[in-house]
Structure 1
């Protein structure tokens, strides 16, 4: 970052024209920290589960999506392809009940996530497959034949 100009907190280079001793609206708003409400502004409102981390890598003949989602079963996932968009989602519902002579205790929970990725035109969507092993969901997106990397070859000069 350059130290050529020092900006005031409101980001304005012009000298503030203050009539009173009250801070300008932009200065007041800059002082208001969203860090005071981390759960409110950084969580995913639609889910009780944080979004899983994803690695996407390109290899010679495919794209590979790896998603870290431990503790789930294969049957918990929904993987759909629609209009060149791949969506991966999961939904978990828990309902535990414990009955005793003196009390009944019920606990329930719900969590879900959904990640959507726009696929490049080079993906052969009829050959997409997925595996789930040791907490990692892997989606293999093979490339169309014309998009695959071809090995280098020498060209002779005539």
Structure 2
């Protein structure tokens, strides 16, 4: 192995960078073993404590919420509205019946979340509807009639 060393001004050939080199090597080893490698165990752990990601867009007639929640069933969701707060929550517990009771490791899958959204006064809360398709929960939040954009019009001068 070729190593280049700086010779200090005092003429000593002692490598004063050994500590620095060791720290770099140690950091490299730590990086290998402390990386966040995706495993089944860590992905299930993260599912329990993370909130699903959402897209919210405003269209002419309504606001649309798209929530990424793959692996759920329609019956897993609870969507409520209280005053101007929209709450979307879910509890999903998966238990696989194992005919062979002599297992050494069996991990349970339990996922839950709750997201709250404060709705603008312009939302018609009586006509909100939801649809779940291919891992995406869609909520359509129609606007009140007076909040909808009206097309531009020309005013005639008398």
> Following superposition, which runs of at least 4 residues in structure 1 exceed 6 angstroms of deviation?
none
Aligned twin of 1:118: 118
Answer yes or no: is the 8 Å Cα contact 1:97–1:107 preserved in 2. Answer: no
Answer yes or no: is the 8 Å Cα contact 1:96–1:107 preserved in 2. Answer: no
- Report whether the alignment pairs 1:149 with 2:146: no
Aligned twin of 1:18: none
Bigger helix fraction: 2
Structure 1 unmatched runs, 5+? 1-35, 39-44
- How far the C-alpha of 1:134 sits from its partner, in A, is 1.0
What CA RMSD, in Å, does the superposition of the two structures yield over aligned residues? 2.2
**Equivalences for 1:98-109 in 2 at 5 Å?**
98-100=98-100, 103-104=102-103, 106-109=106-109
- Report whether the alignment pairs 1:76 with 2:76: yes
Q: Deviations over 1:58-109 (max 9, x none)?
A: 11111111111111111111100012100011111122242338x2465423
Structure 2 distance, partners of 1:157, 1:126, is 40
* Number of matched pairs: 114
Q: 1:147 to 1:98 in 2, by over 3 A?
A: same
Structure 2 distance, partners of 1:124, 1:100, is 53
Normalising by structure 1, what TM-score? 0.65
Normalising by structure 2, what TM-score? 0.65
Bigger strand fraction: 1
Structure 2 distance, partners of 1:64, 1:137, is 10
Moved more, 92-101 or 112-121: 92-101
**Secondary structure of 1:48's match?**
helix
Aligned twin of 1:28: none
Which structure would you say has the larger Rg? Answer: 2
Aligned twin of 2:54: 54
Structure 2 unmatched runs, 5+? 1-33, 37-44
